[in-house]
Structure 1
Amino acid sequence: MSSPTSQNKIQNIPVTLLRFDPLNPRIPIEIDGSDENEVIEYLLAEANIDDLMKSLLSQGYFQGEPLLVCPSNDNDDTYIVVEGNRRLGALKLINGFPPPRKENTIKAILSESTREIKEIPCIVYKAREEILGYLGYRHITGIKEWDHLAKARYLKQLYDKTTEEQKDNNLSSIEIYKILAKNIGSKYPSVENLLRGLEVLNFADDERILEDIGKRPNDIHFSLLTTALNNSSIKSYVSLDKEKPIDQNNVDSENTRNLLSWLYGDKEKNKIVRESREIQKLAKVIANDDSLNYLIKHQNENDILETSFTLAGGLLDGFEDGLNKINNNLTSLQELLTLVSDYLNEYHISELDSIQKKAKSLYVSARALVEDKE
């Protein structure tokens, strides 16, 4: 992929002719990306553009970082800023856009400088699609990475574009993922995982599941969702078929609601997954009908994931795995014994004595439990 300046010349364009990108992956879907007031309010709240204003007014605009733009479709000589919306927000405020929040802060910042920034360097592309590949390098695998949800939204745009371009070639979903991965310098399973996570999140939003559990898309810890959906049991539970194209799955509404409630909680129930490593336990619970039904009925009970995991046989697996490891380690130590005989001392005898006592105690306790059941 060529650099953004290798084929397009830099032009100075007035800030008044620049518009926000309504398809900006970083802007929450509940915000109208074409409404300057809404976008700037969000950027002030979440992107610290007031701090960026200070920098721009102090140092001026760095000519080496032009905005990447394309003509808008309104035939009014305006341009859509595809790369650089945060900078555009700061520049709009510098040029007198009424701040929808932090009004006193913005006034104070403007009062401390007389610098004017009326025009800024831009690289003009014919269409937004020409810039998408560069965004992937910069914000997915580059030095200014977006969060996981913004990455997924960007990849969905690239996925739709690529699918349309390749519609006559009958490519499989995996082949499309590989094209995307190559374009952005990533691996195709990572691309698939982000897109599948977004598919479920968008489904939950469209079906008002998020509203039902009291969440908005940007409230969701998206990487936790993608980690969960990377597990085959959980993917099957919500009816995601990796062979089907994005947005063509018959995602299970009730099970999706359960999953999101377990991961994030809802208006009435507590979340049960406190960290990503507990997803393996949840997957084992889901794979067992008895433990799954118990979890659904008793979600608000203390330590419900551990209890359900026990019902699924998780603790027994752990116990048996531990016994196997101990047995294997003891076999290995027995084989090493003659090789280290010249180095043995009282410390080793003491450790072996401790192991012997613990093993005997464990045996006696287990024997008693088995006999009690008989």
Structure 2
Amino acid sequence: MPIQTTIAYEEIDNLLLDPENPRLGRQTSGKKLSQEELLNEMAQWKVDELAISFLENGGFWTQEALICIKGPKPGKFTVVEGNRRLSALMRLRDAFDGNPASPKWKELVEGRHPSKGLFKQIPYLLAPSRESVQAFLGFRHVTGIEPWAPSEKAKFIANMVEQGMTYDEVRRKIGSTKEAVRRNYVAHKLYLQIEEQANIPRENFKDRFSVLFLSLRTQGVQQFLHIDLNLPPEKIKEGVPRKHQKALQDFAIWLFGDDKKLPLFSDSRQVDKFGKVLESADAVSYLRRSPIPNFEVAIRMAGGDLPESIERVHEAADKVEEVLRVAHHHAKNLKLKQAATRLGRSTKQLLWVLPARNRSRGPAVSIGSIR
């Protein structure tokens, strides 16, 4: 049964904040919190910005009607889409009633009067169940115009999978890709495991969940954690096998940091190099034994800087070839000669270093062999 298309109206006292809202975060979502406790949790969502808009524009926007389901008590409705809007109205009503949540809310309503029906005629659309709203919420907040934080998206996707939906069914529901759905599910399961197994401060997770998600695309991370993303959800539900919990704990500290160490790297663009590091036994051994491991050192030990080195040499060769086309026009220029001499010395040194480490692979290339 689909969401109703006819807008109905309800007063604020009959509308309830949703304790299962993914935006609340894993530590709060689903807990038995009172409406006042939920409202306090939602204070960090910048609801005052919405409140100002309601006051400036004469009320609640009908085109942004809430989506509700019936219950949990007769005559009450739980808001499954629009909790931020409802919490803004609740804060406004409290401020107009002389119970502002803070001086900011007191100042916000000073000299103002609520528009007619602001708290008595709130537009909403009725949905028959939470499940009937999943496709809409998935598109709007996972792939659409009002995205949740990465960990919130993953939790929403994981809930759908654990309700029995396949990766492909979830993909179609939310308008994503099968690979993204799969990685979000696995990332969420790892996140739950890390919370239980590693001593990581919760605040460290907030801004780093996307790095966890991205790292799962690398073969090195999958091998190190002994997880197979190609397994069906029921086979991967437990995440990292018990006998590899030490690997999970090390991985968590390197990725998120703890109360003693910073994360191994801060730029999410480094996840591919991180994967290469975890493929190297020598690099992993270095990370484990070093009190303060250095990511660049680990990359070098893993040979992860080789592709970049090769690319730089190619770039240098390209630039030299460009200069060769015009160098004869400036044959007597002293600065150009000095730059070329420097280049020659560096190239000779590079060619000397490479054969010294690869004598078993063939004869050394001499500087005089370059044509």
Q: What range is the shorter-chain TM-score in?
A: 0.7 to 0.9
**1:196 Cα shift?**
1.4
**Could you tell me how far apart the structure 1 residues matched to 2:315 and 2:122 are?**
68
SS in 2 for 1:26: helix
**Could you tell me how far apart the structure 2 residues matched to 1:158 and 1:368 are?**
57
Checking the alignment, whether the CA contact within 8 Å between 1:220 and 1:264 is kept in structure 2 is no
User: In the alignment, which residue of structure 1 is the partner of 2:11?
Assistant: 14
User: In the alignment, which residue of structure 1 is the partner of 2:209?
Assistant: 222
SS in 2 for 1:96: helix
Amino acid at match of 1:113: R
Q: Of 175, 179, 190, which residue of structure 1 is paired with 2:180?
A: 190
Amino acid at match of 1:120: I
CA pair 138-366 structure 1, distance change in 2 beyond 3 A: closer
Deviations 1:278-313 (A, max 9, x none): 222322221122221111111414xx2222222223
User: In the alignment, which residue of structure 2 is the partner of 1:54?
Assistant: 52
**Could you tell me how far apart the structure 1 residues matched to 2:232 and 2:261 are?**
32
User: In the alignment, which residue of structure 2 is the partner of 1:93?
Assistant: 91
**1:133 Cα shift?**
0.6
CA pair 114-318 structure 1, distance change in 2 beyond 3 A: closer
Amino acid at match of 1:54: I
The alignment-based identity, stated in percent, is 23
SS in 1 for 2:16: strand
**Could you tell me how far apart the structure 1 residues matched to 2:204 and 2:125 are?**
32
**Could you tell me how far apart the structure 2 residues matched to 1:57 and 1:277 are?**
43
TM-score of the superposition, structure 2-length normalised? 0.80
CA pair 104-311 structure 1, distance change in 2 beyond 3 A: same
User: In the alignment, which residue of structure 1 is the partner of 2:350?
Assistant: 362
Amino acid at match of 2:23: R
Checking the alignment, whether the CA contact within 8 Å between 2:193 and 2:239 is kept in structure 1 is no
SS in 1 for 2:194: helix
**Could you tell me how far apart the structure 1 residues matched to 2:201 and 2:274 are?**
22
**1:217 Cα shift?**
7.5
User: In the alignment, which residue of structure 2 is the partner of 1:133?
Assistant: 135
CA pair 362-236 structure 1, distance change in 2 beyond 3 A: closer
User: In the alignment, which residue of structure 2 is the partner of 1:298?
Assistant: 290
Structure 2 portions without partners, runs of 5+: 360-371
**1:68 Cα shift?**
0.3
Paired residues, number: 343
Amino acid at match of 1:137: F
User: In the alignment, which residue of structure 1 is the partner of 2:110?
Assistant: 111
CA pair 101-225 structure 1, distance change in 2 beyond 3 A: farther
**Could you tell me how far apart the structure 2 residues matched to 1:77 and 1:70 are?**
11
User: In the alignment, which residue of structure 2 is the partner of 1:172?
Assistant: none
TM-score of the superposition, structure 1-length normalised? 0.79
Amino acid at match of 2:209: F
CA pair 256-38 structure 1, distance change in 2 beyond 3 A: farther
* Matched ranges for 1:311-330 at <5 A: 311-315=301-305, 319=309, 325=314
SS in 2 for 1:29: coil
CA pair 227-299 structure 1, distance change in 2 beyond 3 A: farther
**Could you tell me how far apart the structure 1 residues matched to 2:62 and 2:308 are?**
60
SS in 2 for 1:70: strand
User: In the alignment, which residue of structure 2 is the partner of 1:84?
Assistant: 82
**Could you tell me how far apart the structure 2 residues matched to 1:160 and 1:86 are?**
26
**1:154 Cα shift?**
1.6
User: In the alignment, which residue of structure 2 is the partner of 1:253?
Assistant: 245
Checking the alignment, whether the CA contact within 8 Å between 1:229 and 1:235 is kept in structure 2 is yes
Checking the alignment, whether the CA contact within 8 Å between 1:33 and 1:39 is kept in structure 2 is no
Deviates more, 1:146-155 or 1:348-357: 348-357
User: In the alignment, which residue of structure 2 is the partner of 1:288?
Assistant: 280
SS in 2 for 1:68: strand
Q: Are residue 234 (structure 1) and residue 232 (structure 2) matched?
A: no
**1:269 Cα shift?**
2.2
* Matched ranges for 1:134-213 at <5 A: 134-163=136-165, 176-205=166-195, 207-209=196-198, 212-213=199-200
User: In the alignment, which residue of structure 2 is the partner of 1:267?
Assistant: 259
Checking the alignment, whether the CA contact within 8 Å between 1:193 and 1:226 is kept in structure 2 is yes
**Could you tell me how far apart the structure 1 residues matched to 2:356 and 2:238 are?**
56
SS in 2 for 1:30: coil
**Could you tell me how far apart the structure 2 residues matched to 1:129 and 1:83 are?**
13
Checking the alignment, whether the CA contact within 8 Å between 2:204 and 2:256 is kept in structure 1 is no
Structure 1 portions without partners, runs of 5+: 164-175
- RMSD over aligned CA atoms reads 3.5
Amino acid at match of 2:34: D
Checking the alignment, whether the CA contact within 8 Å between 1:199 and 1:247 is kept in structure 2 is yes
SS in 1 for 2:79: strand
**Could you tell me how far apart the structure 1 residues matched to 2:219 and 2:353 are?**
37
Q: Are residue 346 (structure 1) and residue 341 (structure 2) matched?
A: no
Checking the alignment, whether the CA contact within 8 Å between 2:240 and 2:248 is kept in structure 1 is no
SS in 2 for 1:95: helix
**Could you tell me how far apart the structure 2 residues matched to 1:131 and 1:118 are?**
25
Checking the alignment, whether the CA contact within 8 Å between 2:190 and 2:240 is kept in structure 1 is no
**1:333 Cα shift?**
5.3
Amino acid at match of 1:63: T
Checking the alignment, whether the CA contact within 8 Å between 1:94 and 1:117 is kept in structure 2 is no
